[in-house]
Amino acid sequence: MNTEPPRPGLFARARSAARDAFVAGLDQAERNEWPYDFRNTAHDGQLPPECDWRIWLMMAGRGFGKTRAGAEWVCDIARHEPQARIALVGSSLGEARAVMVEGESGILACSPPDRRPLFEPSLKRLTWPNGASAHLFSAAEPESLRGAQHSHGWCDEIAKWDNSAGRAMAAWDNLQMGLRLGDRPRLLATTTPRVVPLVRRLMGEEAADVVVTRGSTFDNGAHLPPRFLQAMRRTYGRTALGRQELNGELLEETDGALWSRALLEQCREVLSVDPMARVVVGVDPPASAHGDECGIVVAGITEAGEAKVLADASLARPSPERWARAVAATALAWKADRVVAEANLGGAMVESVLRAADCQMPIRLVHASRGKVARAEPVAALYEAGRVRHVGQFARLEDQLCGLMAGGDYCGPGRSPDRADAMVWALTELMLGRRGKVSVRSF
């Protein structure tokens, strides 16, 4: 009977001095193998479930060790199954190579010298000495997965895959249809949780088909700097961003919100190549130097009339001089045509502060006659109509958008949706104002 205690987590929880003393007692062959035996340092959530599964969804916070777990899983398959044909799917080919293969926790770093695969970047192929192989794919090119056959697959950061035109779902479906080699085809998907269609679909699959591993950044605390963990707890511990990115929670939708996370994901694009006809910087100044955030959001409009949210440069509790300098620098960096700033609390002083900070472009002061939520409603309608895109991810801004409730309430995070209000001013100027090229009436 095997009485050996399970190793997962045992050495990860041990003090470094105890680990070093144990390793010092090994013979040379054991020492050579030690760094490459993942069971020695893995925590429980990084090892495959013991039940019979087809899809393993590892959905956890940043720093949990998802990439290391994925790379080690692939290496273990290649070691024991010479006939394995493995698909490595990233959000782009660049990320698949930089993170999954060549990264600090990637496949090459996890492989012992005598079992390291040959990587041929031009062929997008890894080949192990025993004949097992893996090919790199981009989720942004779903057709590249059509027709290819595999016995295993590792999909990294599936919540980051491009959702426009249904690319993420198409890439997943094409991979599933090609996962037909061997007796037990299996697929590992690693990701930080976000409410995107693919993640929601996997969470709704049959329990016998999909096994979900959940976890937080702090589960891997033995391998992360204590000061980093302290800073993360202090800065993000109680925020929605922290719940998602650190604790690994899949944030649910708020009933009655003007924006849903699913809607925001549908309007996201990784990179915009369309030239901007106009660019403006929306500003929601704080009431005082010790008040709320200063919302500073950059948005543009294309010749075709599509609006793009380009950047969020907002600041927390800045002095008037600091936020004014930030606005001026942001407008200069983005070659903005105009700064649109709310002036309810400061009047002409807002423009004076901006001019003192050497803000050279035209400044338009706007006065709010309605509440923040009421002003946001026609802008939310533009999103529903597919007229606005987010170029990248703006977590704090998007958290505020999802807290704006139809009917006039704001349910957080924070006391005031300053970032969201700055974005609303910018998009109103571009799409709904007198100078806007497109009107909400054109739906």
For residues 108 and 183, state if they share a domain: yes
273 and 189 housed in the same domain: no
Q: For residue 340, is it within any domain?
A: yes
Statement: residue 164 has pLDDT above 80: no
Domain boundary among 189, 221, 236: 236
For the chain, give the mean pLDDT: 85
- Say if strands 268-269 and 133-138 run parallel, antiparallel, or are unpaired: unpaired
Mean pLDDT for the stretch of residues 67-73: 96
What per-residue confidence (pLDDT) applies to 415?
81
Q: Is residue 34 part of a domain?
A: no
Residues 276 and 227 in one domain: no
Question: Which tokens is 88 given?
Answer: 């490595």
Cis amide leading into 49 (omega within 30): no
**What's the Cα-to-Cα distance from 275 to each of 251, 359, 385, rounded to whole Å?**
34, 23, 21
Sheet holding 118-120, edge to edge: 118-120, 125-127, 133-138, 85-90, 152-156, 186-191, 55-60, 210-215
Q: Are residues 216 and 279 in the same domain?
A: no
- HSE of 277, CA atoms in CB hemisphere, 13 A: 13
Query: DSSP letter at 401?
Result: H
- Residue 427 sits at φ, ψ, to 5 deg, of -70, -30
Whether the pLDDT of residue 179 is over 90: the answer is yes
Residue 52, in any domain of the structure: yes
Q: Are 192 and 63 in contact (CB under 8 A)?
A: no
Q: Are 412 and 270 in contact (CB under 8 A)?
A: no
User: Among 148-162, 275-289, 301-315, 407-421, which stretch is predicted with the lowest mean pLDDT?
Assistant: 407-421
Residue 177, in any domain of the structure: yes
Where do we find the tokens 């698909």?
87
Q: In this structure, are 196 and 276 located in the same domain?
A: no
CA distance linking residue 83 with residue 85, whole number of Å: 7
| Residues 219 and 274 occupy one common structural domain | no
Same domain as 414, residue 308 = yes
Q: Domain of 132: which CATH number?
A: 3.40.50.300
Tell me if 126 is assigned to some domain.
Answer: yes
Which residues, in sequence order, are bridge partners of residue 189? 57, 155
Residues 6+ apart with CB under 8 A from 367: 342, 343, 344
Share of the chain above pLDDT 70, in %: 86
For residue 375, what are the contacts with CB-CB under 8 A and spacing of at least 6? 368, 421, 424, 428
**Distance in angstroms (rounded) separating the CA atoms of residues 235 and 243:** 12
d(CA 67, CA 105): 6
Q: Same domain, yes or no, for 327 and 428?
A: yes
- Domain stop point among 236, 252, 277: 236
- Residue 13's pLDDT is 57
Whether residue 211 is contained in a domain is answered as yes
Give the structural domain span for 404. 261-442
If one counts the domains in the chain, the total is: 2
In a domain, 3, yes or no: no
31 part of a folded domain: no
pLDDT at residue 297 tops 60:
yes
Highest mean pLDDT out of 15-29, 106-120, 361-375: 106-120
The domain spanning residue 344 has which CATH number? 3.30.420.240
Residue bearing the bigger pLDDT, 14 or 190: 190
Pairwise pLDDT comparison (4 vs 327), residue with the higher score:
327
Residues 266 and 210 in one domain: no
The answer to whether residues 168 and 295 belong to one domain is no
- What the block records as the tokens of 187 is 């697929």
0.85 exceeded by the pTM? no
Whether residue 342 contacts residue 426, with contact meaning beta carbons closer than 8 Å, is answered with: no
- Kindly report, residue by residue over 386-422, the tens digit of the pLDDT: 999 999 889 889 989 998 988 767 877 778 899 999 9
Q: Are residues 342 and 206 in the same domain?
A: no
Name the one residue in this structure whose structure tokens are 């309810």. Answer: 344
- What pLDDT does 46 receive? 92
Alpha-carbon distance 287 to 295, whole Å? 12
- Residue 335 near residue 279, CB atoms below 8 Å: yes
Please indicate, yes or no, whether residues 140 and 273 belong to a single structural domain of this protein.
no
CA distance 85 to 106: 18
